[in-house]
Amino acid sequence: IYQHFFNDYDWFMKADDDTYIILENLRYFLSEKNTSEPVYFGHHFKPYIKQGYHGGGAGYVLSKEALRRFGEKGNNSDCRSDGGAEDVEMGRCLESVGVRIVNSDDSLGRSRFHSFIPESYLKGTFPKWYYHYDVNGAKQGRGNISDYVISFHSVNPEKMRQLEFYVYHLRPYGINNGQQDLNTNITERSR
């Protein structure tokens, strides 16, 4: 990607084939971010690395400067090219080349990138490991899902079709929620 596409884009996202992405919300989130800062966004996990890392399942987004540093300096001893968990190893490598994790929550503290399907958050049905990994303490309920959610992970093909229908085809008549500026007053916390 660095060798072939670096000059074509400002942001670079890694996502799994079972990650559902709402691109409009991703574009909105990134619209006021500076692509020349060495940062990356995603769902913040805390173990293994000083600043933590962004879980690969929910997807993560690298700024142009983050990708430049990874592409040019990512051959050091902290950057493995074989083995290990992809997201942990990527986090370790990015930290070693000076790329910062930045808070991706909205201004109300609700998560935009999610490691599981919506039902897991609504019902609080998380695997045990998740309670120890999530930097925000594995919050559950509607109050943890941003109105401008970017991703859900572990989405099977049928659930993908359902989410597509709910997001892009349902419109309640007479209800105008307007557009709330959830990018305002976000504190970019380095962890």
Give the tens place of pLDDT for each residue, 122-147.
998 999 999 999 998 888 888 899 99
Of the candidates 122, 136, 120, the one whose C-alpha atom is nearest the C-alpha of residue 46 is 136
Scanning the structure block, which residue is given the tokens 């070693």? Answer: 96
Decide if 143 is inside a domain. yes
Residue 105 domain flag: yes
Distance CA 105, CA 135 (A): 11
pLDDT band, very low/low/confident/very high, at 154 (cuts 50, 70, 90): very high
* Any domain includes 181: no
Let me know if residue 98 belongs to a domain. yes
CA-CA distances (angstroms) from residue 160 to 34, 42, 58, 118, 145?
31, 20, 14, 11, 18
Q: What pTM value is reported for the model?
A: 0.88
State how far Cα 90 lies from the chain centre: 14
Q: Which of 3, 48, 27 is nearest to 112 (CA)?
A: 27
Q: What are phi and psi of 125, to 5 degrees?
A: -95, 80
| pLDDT for residue 184 | 63
DSSP 29-91: HHTTS-TTS-EEEE-EE-SSSTT-EE-STT-EEEEHHHHHHHHHHTTSTT--SSSS-HHHHHH
Residue 190 domain flag: no
- Given phi > 0 = left and psi -120 to 50 = alpha, else beta, which region is 124? left
Number of separate domains in the chain: 1
Range of the domain at 102: 1-171
Amino acid letter, 119:
E
Q: Is residue 180 part of a domain?
A: no
As a whole-number percent, the residues of the chain with pLDDT over 70 amount to 92
Does 185 map to a domain? no
> Which of the two residues, 181 and 145, has the higher pLDDT score?
145
In the chain, the amino acid numbered 78 is: D
Measured CA to CA, the distance from residue 136 to residue 143 in angstroms comes to 13
Residue 163 belongs to a domain:
yes
Residues 64-89: what's their mean pLDDT?
Answer: 90
